[in-house]
Amino acid sequence: MKNLIVIAGSGIYPELVVRGAKAAGVPNVDVLAVRGSTSRATRCAADGVHEIGIGEIAAGIRWIAAQGYDGAVLAGQINPLSLFRSRFDEEVKAWLRSLPCKNAHTVFGRLVEEFEKAGVKVLPATSYMEACLPDEGVLTARAPDERESRDIAHAAAVVRDVGRHDVGQTVLVKEGMVLAVEAFEGTNAAILRGGRLGGKGAVIFKGAREGHDMRFDVPVIGMKTLKTMKRAGVTALAFQAGRQIVLEKEAVIAYANRHGIALAGMRTDLPPAPTRPDSCGA
């Protein structure tokens, strides 16, 4: 890999991909920045920056294809509400109209398809992030206790089942009761919603859907997640080992230890991801 482009949404994730690629010896790492989303730190870390508006995705793909990049990585958050509020170019409107339903899996899957049609190879979103992919085991000083472990197992089963319908990646459980299943509002809002219902002591399992395409919408947690958990009274979080990005991992673990929060990676029975997404799930 000599020439990489990072399609950068918001947050620290795209910056870490840029820095990880440089540390791995990629000679040139550029960023396709989204106006109003991509951070200054991400832009400054890159060798070059090209900016588009959120509605100019098709033009961005054409620009990337013309530059002859060896690969592209999709990284960072795009506000899902932008799917309904942004003024897209006509090509993107046609893509969206063609989808039988609109969710992260179908929309980003179609986006990747268009990149590939243009001759742009889209790499896994975990590329150059190996240090941020914890394996199986407890990360924190405290392991989940017996009750938390039972609730985590229940939450993991719910994530597996609702994922088939392209519902979110996060489930909160307390004493066997499902408090919140992440929907359109995103992880942090779901955590706060579950915390309001259950009070202190809920647990979280966060994981990718069955057959998840790891080129986009990979499960991510970071400091904001942990601070939201503390605010909501959540005491433990588990995730799929090797398939969950933990941003600023050392800081996250230190924060969890200070506040008695247990973090753990666990193996699940989810099968490997296919190379191409389906439409709307079962």
Using the predicted structure, report yes or no on whether residue 262 has a pLDDT greater than 80.
yes
**In three state form, how does the secondary structure of 82-106 look?**
HHHHCCCCHHHHHHHHHCCCCCHHH
Using the predicted structure, report yes or no on whether residue 171 has a pLDDT greater than 70.
yes
Structure tokens belonging to residue 233: 């009274």
Distance of CA 152 to the CA centre of its chain: 20
Helix (H) or strand (E) holding 128: none
Using the predicted structure, report yes or no on whether residue 77 has a pLDDT greater than 90.
no
Q: What is the CA radius of gyration of the chain?
A: 19
Residue-level pLDDT at 276: 34
In the chain the domains, ranked by start, together with CATH numbers, are 3-117 (3.40.50.20), 133-266 (3.40.140.80)
Residues 6+ apart with CB under 8 A from 149: none
Residue 178's SS3 state is strand
Answer whether 0.95 is exceeded by the pTM.
Answer: no
CA–CA distance, 97 with 111 (Å, rounded to integer): 13
If one compares 227 and 90, the residue with the highest pLDDT of the two is 227
What CA–CA distances, in Å, run from 199 to 187, 192, 233, 256? 17, 10, 6, 18
pLDDT, mean of residues 135-151 = 97
Residue-level pLDDT at 239: 96
Residue-level pLDDT at 91: 82
What CA–CA distances, in Å, run from 264 to 7, 70, 239? 30, 35, 7
| Four-CA torsion 155, 161, 164, 167, nearest 10 degrees | -40
Residue 9, CB half-sphere, CA atoms under 13 Å: how many? 15
Residue-level pLDDT at 84: 61
Q: Which amino acid is at 4?
A: L
Residue-level pLDDT at 244: 92
**In three state form, how does the secondary structure of 259-275 look?**
CCCEEEEECCCCCCCCC
Average pLDDT taken over every residue of the chain: 89
User: Which residue carries 């002859």 as its tokens?
Assistant: 68
Using the predicted structure, report yes or no on whether residue 272 has a pLDDT greater than 50.
no
